[in-house]
Structure 1
Amino acid sequence: MAERRTYGSYNDGCAAAHALDLVGDRWAMVVVRELLLGPKRFVDLQNDVMGIGPTVLTRRLVDLVDRGVVQSRRSSTSSRSELYELTPWGCRLEEVNTALARWAVESSALPWDADMSPDTLILTMRAHARPCPELEEPVAVGLHLSDARRHPHPDPVSYVAVLSADGSSLTKTDIPQSTIATLTTDTRTLKTAVLGDADLTRHPDAAISGDPTAIDTLLAATRLDDPGPGRSLPGPG
C-alpha cells in the first residue's frame, strides 16, 4: 500500500493541515480519545475501539508513537504487559476532542442512539461540565460504569466527579470513601440520562448508594439538555 502523502509535501504550510497529517488518519483520533483519561494496554484499546482490527491498531499506535503523540512503557504490575499513554503534548488533544464534540453535536446526522465506551461518555460529560452555583461546598460523586456494548458487561470502570460552584470535573480514578454518593450503571443508561431527563433513581439498570440528590446535581452539571432542532433524544435501552 502506497503511503499517503502529507499536506506539507504539496507545499501546504498550514499548521491545521499539519495537524491532520499527525492525527487525521482513520482511527487515529479515536485511539487518542481512548487514551485521554489514562494509559491502556493493547487489548484494552481493542475492546474500547470497536471495529478496529489488530493490524490497523498496531499501525496507528506505531504512527502515533513516531509522531510524538503516544508513548509506550512496561506495566509496573507485569513485565510482559505494555501500556500506551499520551505524551504531555498528546494530552493537549483533549482540547481538540472537546472542540470537535461541541461542533459535531449540531450535526443532523449525529448517531444519537449509538453507544459509547465508558471513557468516551465521561469525556462527553467533561466537555459539557459546568459550575453548580447552588453548592456551598464541593461534593464528590463516584461512578462505576460498565460498557453496554459488550455482553456480558465487563467489570465497571471507576470515575470521580467533583462538583462545586466554581466548576465541575470528572477523572478516572478509584472512588474514595469521601464521596457523597455513588452511581453504578452502564454506558447506555447513563447516556440516556445525560442526553435527556431519565430518572436514574427509578431506573432498573442503575443503583445509587448515598445521597441521590448528588446524582441529580451531577446530571444537571453535565447534561446536554437540547440536542438541537429536528433531533430527538434517545429513549432508554
Structure 2
Amino acid sequence: MGTRRTYGSYNDGCATAHALDLIGERWTMIVVRELLLGPKRFAHLQQDVQGIGPSVLAQRLQHLESEGIAERRHLPAPADVDVYALTERGLRLEAVNTALATWAADSPGLLWDADMSPDTLVLAMRAHARPRVDRADPTVVALHLVDSRREGAAPVAYTATMTDERTTVVRDAAGPAAPHAVLRATTRALKRVIIGGAALEPSPDLQVEGERGAVDALVRATALHA
C-alpha cells in the first residue's frame, strides 16, 4: 500500500485541509482523544482504543510525535515507565474534539447504545459542562469509572468540581481529600444518565456515597441535555 497523499500535495492551501493532513487519518484523532486528560502507557492506549493494532498505534504515535502534537516521556521511579503525552499544541485539540462531538450529537446514525472509555465519557461531560447555579460554594465529587467494555477493568479516578463560575472534571489518581460525594459507576451506567437522559438510580453498576445532592448537581451540570 502506497503512502497516502496529503491535501497539500494537491496544492490545497486551506488550513482545514492541513489540519486533516495532521489528524484526519483513521485512528489519529481517537488516539489524541485518549490522551487529552493525561499521559498513558502504550499498553493502556491499546486497551482504551479498542480495535487498533499495535503496529498502527505505533505509527499514529510516531506521526503525532513528528508533528509536535504528542511526545514520549519517561516517568521516574517508582513508576519508571515510558508514557505518551500531548504537547501544549496537542492539548488544544480538546476544542476540536468538543466541536466534533457537539456537531455529531444530533446525528441519526450516532450509536447511542455503544460503550465509551472512561476518558471519552468524561470528555463528553466536559463538553457539556455548565456552572452550578444553585450554590456558590465549590462542590466536589470523586468519580470512579470502570470501563464497561473490558471485564475486570480497574476503576479510573476523576475529580469533578462545581462552582457558580464553571464545572471541571479532571483525571486525578490521588483523588480529592474530602469530597462531598463519591460516585462509582460503569461507563455504560453513567452514559445512560449523562448522555441518555436516564434518571440517576443507585444499582450495582452505579453507587453513590455521601451527599446525593452533590451527585445530582454533577449530573445537572454535565448532562447532554440540562
Quickly name the TM-score band, shorter chain normalised. Answer: over 0.9
Gapped regions of structure 1 (runs ≥ 5): 227-237
Residue 90 (structure 1) aligns with: 90
Q: Deviations over 1:124-177 (max 9, x none)?
A: 00000011110131111110111000012x110000011111111110012122
CA distance in 2, matches of 1:203, 1:117: 20
Residue 202 of structure 1 aligns to a residue whose secondary structure is coil
Q: Deviations over 1:177-218 (max 9, x none)?
A: 221001011100010111244343432311211101111000
Aligned 8 A contact 2:140 2:161 in 1: yes
The count of aligned residue pairs is 225
Give the direction of change, closer, same or farther, for the CA distance of 1:116–1:79 in structure 2 (3 Å limit).
Answer: closer
Aligned 8 A contact 1:201 1:212 in 2: no
Deviates most, 63-72 or 169-178: 169-178
Aligned 8 A contact 2:182 2:208 in 1: yes
Residue 222 (structure 1) aligns with: 222
Deviates most, 75-84 or 215-224: 75-84
CA distance in 1, matches of 2:80, 2:194: 39
Residue 98 of structure 1 deviates from its aligned partner by 0.3
**Alignment-mate amino acid for residue 50 of structure 1:** Q
Structural mapping, 1:55-66, within 5 Å: 55-66=55-66
Residue 205 (structure 1) aligns with: 205
Residue 74 (structure 1) aligns with: 74
Residue 156 (structure 2) aligns with: 157
CA distance in 1, matches of 2:198, 2:11: 52
CA distance in 1, matches of 2:37, 2:130: 19
Residue 43 (structure 2) aligns with: 43
The sequence identity of aligned pairs, in percent, is 52
Aligned 8 A contact 1:201 1:208 in 2: no
Residue 14 (structure 2) aligns with: 14
Residue 142 (structure 2) aligns with: 142
Residue 79 of structure 1 deviates from its aligned partner by 7.8
After superposition, the CA RMSD in angstroms is 1.4
Deviates most, 71-80 or 163-172: 71-80
1:101 counterpart = 2:72: no
TM-score normalised according to structure 2 size: 0.95
Q: Deviations over 1:19-56 (max 9, x none)?
A: 00001110000000000000000000000000000010
Residue 194 (structure 2) aligns with: 194
Aligned 8 A contact 2:202 2:208 in 1: no
CA distance in 2, matches of 1:177, 1:125: 22
Residue 76 of structure 1 deviates from its aligned partner by 1.8
CA distance in 2, matches of 1:63, 1:191: 32
Residue 85 of structure 1 deviates from its aligned partner by 0.2
TM-score normalised according to structure 1 size: 0.91
CA distance in 2, matches of 1:27, 1:197: 29
Aligned 8 A contact 2:118 2:146 in 1: yes
